[in-house]
Amino acid sequence: MKTNLQIVHDLYKAFREKDYDAFIALCARDLEWVQNEGFPRGATWHGPQAVVDGVFRTFDDTWEDWKYEVERYLDAGNSIVVVGRYRGRHRLTGKTFNSPAAHLYDLTGGRVQRFRQFTDTKVIWDAME
């Protein structure tokens, strides 16, 4: 069985490769996905398919380039903290941004149960205007 840290590594691989089936397989059916208040199109999403449809697929419509660059993983047992930064280029304005961010994953039974995001949303909004 994989460690929680390995599961989160696999989750980021699924993000990068847009392998939504792999993402869904790594998440609990009752996944809670909490985006930072003020995050563009941000919300709390329930279930992995809702995250795929409401979060990941909408990025392609809005952003020419969007990525989360991992700087560090912190293993806290059933919780994994990922420190990094968002970078992107808005499709319409052509403006870029760079925002430090942290992701907190809570895992249960070898699946991601909850995600919480912490980032500076202002620099992202500035790129959209």
111-119: strand order across its sheet: 44-46, 27-34, 111-119, 96-108, 79-90, 63-76
- DSSP-assigned states of every residue in 21-74: HHHHHHEEEEEEEEPPTT-TT--EEESHHHHIIIIIHHHHHHEEEEEEEEEEEE
pTM of the predicted protein model: 0.93
Domain layout of the chain by residue ranges: 4-128
Assign domain 4-128 one CATH number from 3.10.450.50, 3.40.50.2020, 3.40.640.10, 3.40.50.300: 3.10.450.50
Taking 70 as the pLDDT cut, the residues of the chain under it are none
- CB count within 10 Å of CB 56 equals 15
Structural contact between residues 74 and 9, judged by C-beta atoms closer than 8 angstroms: no
- What are the pLDDT digits (tens) for 5-42? 999 999 999 999 999 999 999 999 999 999 998 888 88
